Structure 1
Amino acid sequence: MTHSDSRAHVAILDDEPEIRRMLSDTLEEAGFRTSCYARATEFEAALKRTAPDVCLVDLGLPDRDGLALVHRLALESGAAIIIISGRAQVQDRVTGLELGADDYIIKPFDPAEVVARIRARLRKGRPETDRAAQTARFAGWTAHFDRYLLVNETGEEVAFSHAEGEVLRLFLESPKRLISRAQMQESLGGAAGDSFDRAMDVRISRLRTKLGEDPKNPRLIKTIYGAGYIFLGDVSWD
């Protein structure tokens, strides 16, 4: 599903209507597009139709274990995940981050802090010098990073998430060069370890699917086992 709206999309999952309203109002005012959900079931159903750039997830959900949901999101979604929770114990924060969350905000919070944290996440891996170049062409595809769109030679459009875009941009800025897991972690942020590696595997798998790659023998994004990845296409930037 493609949106003409180029604003970053934040999905809010919290069972408290006041918090949903406050976050949505603050984020919309700050220039984001939002969608709100009270239950995990409706949130997960919506994810099949849309790819938010950031998911704000409350851990105390009525119909699902919040940490299990965060873990699944980290493995299956390309979004940045920020936990918002009343659980202030250090162990809860550590567990949330180990399961793949990108950040953890404790209730009660200042809405302005949430906006700042989201902006910080969306800036990760996108240095100021790169912002002018928002369109790249490679192997019959055009990637529009300002609109989160891939367009093929026949004009067919495929949407990608902000997180998937971070990985794609990393490849397109360093074609035909080995990019190690350590370099990816340094460029994209997030805690190193199994959860980061799994999240990268998921994002790369999703990118390959969107680019029509053969998963057994991809022609563009090659896995160099034990070393990292290499992007084999020729790239030109507009």
Structure 2
Amino acid sequence: MRGPRQTGTAVSEQRPRILVVDDDAELRELVAGFLEANGMTVDSAAGGVEMDARLAAHRADLVVLDLMMPGEDGLSILRRLREPGGPGVIMLSAMGDDTDRIIGLEVGADDYLAKPCNPRELLARIRAVLRRRQDGVARGGPERRFGMWTLDVMQRALERTGVPPVALTDAEFRTLSVFLDRPQQVLTRDQLIERGRGIDSDVYDRAIDVTISRLRKKMAPDDPIRTVRNEGYLFLLPVRP
């Protein structure tokens, strides 16, 4: 089952619309109230079925998604949301160790927070993801071309002749954009983190490796990213104007 398709990825021009999906009614109310008080329009849902109904009625700029819910779990819902033009996704989970976080990032979450979290930190993470998504639309024009591929900046999707578009997560899109800005140059993990997400990011080396692994799979069999031992990564293809 796939979630309702949304058109475009640009953040709403005025109040961003956030959808909070969590089976804990008290937490949903608290989060929604805090985000509303800080300039956001908030919908809420207790699970996947309600989420689909909310998205059918109003597109969301970002979904705050609980991992552990009865019925369809957060990872299954996340997989459905990861399509071209889909919203950003921040996962919340009571399981906060690195392994759980990496699984969430591997499936395609834009960010991950352990529960209970500070509402101000959640707000900051939401704003950061929305800002990165808006910056991505503004940079590099509507399309970027390299090899047999086209990156649709608005839809955040990779396109190749004869192949259905492949949706990119925020982390994948940002990392690929860094490579396209600096093709055929060796980039260290620190450079990818700083240029792709900012010096204030808490992204760590393992997360970058996971993101690049996902990009390689999505661009197979071409795979233009090469590992340069003890140095970093190299994007082999020239980028066409």
TM bracket (short chain): 0.5 to 0.7
SS at match of 2:193: helix
Aligned CA distance change for structure 1 residues 138 and 11 (closer, same or farther; 3 Å): farther
Query: Is the Cα contact below 8 Å between 1:55 and 1:81 reproduced in 2?
Result: yes
1:148 match: 156
Matching residue within 181, 185, 200 for 1:177: 185
* Alpha-carbon spacing, 1:198–1:233, altered in 2? closer, same or farther (3 Å): same
Task: Measure, in 2, the Cα distance between the counterparts of 1:33 and 1:125.
Answer: 10
Query: Given residue 61 of structure 2, which amino acid in structure 1 is its aligned partner?
Result: F
Going from structure 1 to structure 2, the CA distance change for 1:161 and 1:21 (only over 3 Å counts) comes to farther
Q: When the two structures are superposed, what TM-score results if normalisation uses the length of structure 1?
A: 0.68
| TM-score (normalizing by structure 2) | 0.67
Aligned length: 202
CA–CA separation in structure 2 for the residues paired with 1:77 and 1:197: 17
**Alignment match, 2:227:** 223
- 2:63 pairs, out of 28, 34, 38, with 34
Q: Assess if the C-alpha contact under 8 Å between 1:143 and 1:149 holds in 2.
A: yes
1:212 and 1:129 mapped to 2: Cα distance? 25
Deviation string, structure 1 residues 104-128 (Cα, Å, up to 9, x no partner):
x41xx36xx7445312234359869
Matched to 1:57, the amino acid is L
Superposed CA RMSD: 3.5
Correspondence for 1:160 among 168, 187, 194: 168
Identity across the alignment (%):
28
Inter-CA distance 222–122: structure 2 relative to 1 (3 Å threshold):
farther
1:224, distance to aligned residue in structure 2 (A)? 0.4
**Counterparts of 2:67 and 2:235, CA distance in 1:** 41
Secondary structure in structure 2 of the residue aligned to 1:5: coil
Aligned amino acid, residue 7 of structure 2: D
Change in CA separation of 1:29 and 1:184 when aligned onto 2, cut-off 3 Å:
same
Query: Are residues 182 and 39 of structure 1, via their aligned partners in 2, closer, same or farther at CA, if it must alter by over 3 Å?
Result: closer
Cα deviation code 1:60-111 (max 9, x no counterpart)? xxxxx3445334224x23423242633xxxxxxxxxxxxxxxxxx41xx36x
Name the counterpart of 1:53: 88
Q: How does 1:121-132 map to 2 (within 5 A)?
A: 121-124=129-132, 131=139
Q: 1:118 aligns with which of 122, 126, 142?
A: 126
CA contact (8 A) 1:54 1:80 kept: yes
In structure 1, runs of 5+ residues without a counterpart are: 60-64, 87-104
CA contact (8 A) 1:13 1:57 kept: no
- Whole-Å separation in 2 of the counterparts to 1:207 and 1:157: 13
Instruction: Kindly state the Cα deviation for residue 185 of structure 1 after the two structures are TM-superposed.
Output: 2.1
Q: Indicate the SS of the match to 1:233.
A: coil
Q: Which runs of 5+ in 2 are unaligned?
A: 12-16, 43-59
Give 3-state SS (helix, strand or coil) of 1:156's partner. Answer: strand
For the residue of structure 1 that corresponds to 2:155, the secondary structure is coil
Q: For the residues of structure 1 that align with 2:215 and 2:190, how far apart are their CA atoms?
A: 20
